């Protein structure tokens, strides 16, 4: 009830939620009370959580912040939701996002604008901006986001909270509305590294319903949380990242300080090279829109959601439904993706991008022969003012420069707060690591935090 009261008090200013689930949440809370009275207590019993509005929640509207799914109520729960409910967590609502998770600022939401709780004139980051703003503004205790190219880490960085993108295949994508299937992962957005580990314990693990989920033992992520320092660990600093254009001086200074602290805690610090870094943005913005154009073909007015009922001829109905239901950024991606996948262009674009993706992956594999984790800024600048980049897609895409490669390589990445800009906006440090070694990231982040 306290969290729902807090939402009522600040939602008008922050705009973190698409749907607040008052009654359903209170029902779940009562179930949690019952579980507690029966001595049945999990680390998440009764904990109020917020869920990005692209994970299916049975009986609770799931919109992807798109008009095309405005009234879609899923008949089933995503695997992560099932797992959370089993632990008697309480879902207080569904959070705002860029439409179908396409964006870095939440300005591409078809529902509302989300404001950064640290400065309401600024964006919260995206696409899981609502999930990060809700955690930062105490409108939930923890939340889930999804990360296709940085959408958990970048908003976490801009809102001064912790965001973890697990290894591809670690967390089931069953019931996650697909954006780019070879890149998407669900992960936690939390107030602390401990909470991130607790959430990982709840959601990680093999799921037969997701063919890319990996049948691998899941560790107890909280077991690495001790402040014993970082002796024996080697961290890599990519040479290429210092050449990134448009890196804000406050971000650069905060990250340098963070690296120094991590060294003082006992980690050895070496330079590594990721020579294909300069292709990351281009490769991502071919692969992600291509996969999106295929995934979003299902929204045709027949199977789901919105349909333009005035059109009687089938192709007219498709055209009008899709032009009316999808926002401009989603339409831009569908058009780019359709072009990249079309006959005669596939080899030159999607095929070529996939080859370069392998080179990017190999860069990381080589770097990880010498180090346990790689440090960088999460985003090149702190949160920017609402409206500043919204009409300039290329500048917006370039703000993903540090986060995209973890998705292309399938490796885990975490963003932890590491300081503030001169204007008092939070800055995040990104730590990426080897496949299925989320523990190393949590260990460094916990010591650093
Ligand atoms: N900002 C990136 C994009 O617009 C990443 C989004 C995401 O991770 N979902 O595609």
Tell which one of 131, 145, 149, 185 to mutate to probe ligand 1, the residue whose CB is within 8 A of the most ligand atoms.
149
Question: Which residue's C-alpha comes closest to atom 5 of ligand 1?
Answer: 149
Closest ligand 1 atom to 151 CA = 8
User: Which of 64, 97, 108, 127 to mutate for ligand 1's pocket (most ligand atoms within 8 Å of CB)?
Assistant: 127
Give the closest residue to 367 by CA, choosing from 235, 255, 279.
235
* DSSP state for residue 68 in the 8-state scheme: G
Residue numbers in the chain where pLDDT is lower than 50: none
Query: 312: CA distance to ligand 1 center in Å?
Result: 36
DSSP bridge partners of 415: 163, 430
In DSSP terms, 433 is beta-bridged to 373
Query: 92: which 2 tokens?
Result: 């207080």
Instruction: Using the mean position of ligand 1's atoms as its centre, give its distance from the Cα of residue 151 in Å.
Output: 5
Helical axes 2-14 vs 22-37, angle rounded to 10°: 150
* Encoded tokens for 176: 């996650």
Q: Given the residues 42, 109, 127, 142, select the one marked as catalytic.
A: 127
Distances in Å between the alpha carbon of 324 and those of 99, 103, 113, 320? 14, 19, 20, 6
pLDDT at 370: 98
Closest among 411, 39, 43, 36 to 225, alpha carbons compared: 43
Alpha helices in 235-313 (DSSP H): 249-264, 280-295
Closest CA to 136 of 106, 116, 121, 122: 116
Catalytic-role residue among 151, 157, 399, 421: 151
Residue-level pLDDT at 427: 98
Ligand 1: list residues with CB < 6 Å. Answer: 101-104, 127, 147-151, 179, 288, 400
Which of 65, 100, 102 is the best mutation target for the ligand 1 pocket, counting ligand atoms within 8 Å of the beta carbon and taking the most?
102
Which token pair is 199?
């959430």
Atom number, ligand 1, closest to the C-alpha of residue 179 = 9
Point out the catalytic residue in the list 42, 52, 165, 172: 52
**Contact between 373 and 233 (Cβ < 8 Å):** yes
Half-sphere exposure of 361 (CA within 13 A, CB side): 16
Residue to substitute in 53, 54, 66, 103 for testing ligand 1 pocket (most ligand atoms within 8 angstroms of CB):
103
Q: What separation in Å is there between the alpha carbon of 311 and the centre of ligand 1?
A: 33
Atom of ligand 1 nearest to the CA of 103: 4
Q: What are the tokens at 28?
A: 């779940």
Report the CATH fold assignment for 2-224. Answer: Amidase signature (AS) enzymes (3.90.1300)
Cα 248 from Cα 83, distance rounded (Å): 40
From the alpha carbon of 404, which atom of ligand 1 is closest?
5
| CA dist., res. 78 & res. 146, Å (int) | 13
Q: Which of 116, 140, 123, 128 is nearest to 187 (CA)?
A: 128
Q: Which long-range contacts (CB under 8 A, 24 or more apart) does 213-216 make?
A: 213/169, 213/170, 213/171, 213/172, 213/173, 213/174, 214/167, 214/169, 214/170, 214/436, 216/170, 216/436
Nearest CA to ligand 1 atom 4: 103
Ligand 1 centre and the CA of 179: distance in Å? Answer: 9
Q: What is the pLDDT of residues 194-240, one digit of tens each?
A: 999 999 999 999 999 999 999 999 999 999 999 999 999 999 999 99
Q: What is this structure's pTM?
A: 0.98
52 counts as catalytic:
yes
Which residues pair with residue 162 across a beta bridge?
Answer: 190
The yes/no answer to whether this complex scores an ipTM above 0.85 is yes
Is the CB of residue 18 less than 8 Å from the CB of residue 94? yes
Å from CA of 110 to ligand 1 middle: 16
Confidence at residue 245, expressed as pLDDT on a 0 to 100 scale: 87
Work out which ligand 1 atom sits closest to the CA atom of 126.
1
């Amino acid at each position: 009830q306290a969290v729902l009261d807090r939402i009522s008090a600040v939602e008008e200013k922050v705009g973190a939620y698409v749907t607040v689930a008052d009654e359903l949440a209170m029902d779940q809370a009562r179930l949690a009370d019952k579980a507690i009275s029966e001595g049945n207590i999990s680390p998440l019993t009764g904990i109020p959580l917020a869920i990005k509005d692209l994970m299916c929640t049975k009986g609770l509207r799931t919109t992807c912040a798109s008009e095309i799914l405005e009234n879609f109520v899923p008949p089933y729960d995503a695997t992560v939701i099932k797992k959370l409910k089993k632990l008697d967590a309480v879902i207080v609502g569904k959070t705002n996002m860029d439409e179908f998770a396409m964006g870095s600022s939440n300005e591409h939401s078809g529902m509302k604008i989300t404001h950064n709780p640290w400065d309401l004139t600024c964006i919260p980051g995206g696409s899981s901006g609502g999930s990060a703003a809700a955690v930062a503004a105490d409108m939930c205790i923890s939340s889930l986001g999804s990360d296709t190219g940085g959408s958990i880490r970048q908003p976490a960085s801009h809102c001064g909270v912790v965001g973890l993108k697990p290894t591809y295949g670690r967390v089931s994508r069953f019931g996650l509305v697909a954006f780019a299937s070879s890149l998407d992962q669900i992960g936690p957005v939390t107030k602390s590294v401990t909470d991130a580990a607790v959430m990982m314990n709840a959601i990680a693990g093999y799921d037969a319903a997701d063919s890319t989920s990996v049948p691998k033992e899941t560790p107890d992520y909280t077991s690495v949380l001790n402040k014993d320092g970082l002796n024996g660990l080697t961290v890599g600093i990519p040479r290429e990242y210092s050449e990134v254009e448009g890196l804000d001086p406050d971000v650069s200074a905060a990250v340098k300080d963070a690296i120094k602290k991590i060294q003082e805690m006992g980690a050895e610090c070496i330079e590594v090279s990721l020579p294909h870094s300069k292709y990351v943005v281009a490769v991502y913005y071919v692969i992600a829109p291509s996969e999106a154009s295929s995934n979003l073909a299902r929204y045709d007015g027949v199977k789901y959601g919105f349909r333009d009922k005035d059109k009687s001829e089938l192709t007219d109905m498709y055209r009008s439904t899709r032009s009316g239901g999808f926002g401009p950024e989603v339409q831009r991606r569908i058009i780019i993706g359709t072009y990249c996948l079309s006959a005669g262009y596939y080899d030159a674009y999607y095929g070529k991008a996939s080859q370069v993706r392998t080179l990017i992956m190999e860069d990381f594999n080589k770097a990880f022969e010498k180090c346990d984790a790689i440090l960088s800024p999460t985003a090149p600048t702190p949160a920017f003012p609402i409206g500043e980049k919204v009409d300039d897609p290329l500048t917006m895409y370039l703000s993903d420069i540090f986060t995209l490669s973890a998705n292309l390589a399938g490796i885990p990445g975490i963003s932890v707060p590491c300081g503030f800009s001169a204007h008092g906006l939070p800055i995040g440090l990104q730590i990426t690591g080897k496949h299925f070694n989320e523990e190393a990231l949590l260990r460094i982040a916990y010591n650093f935090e």
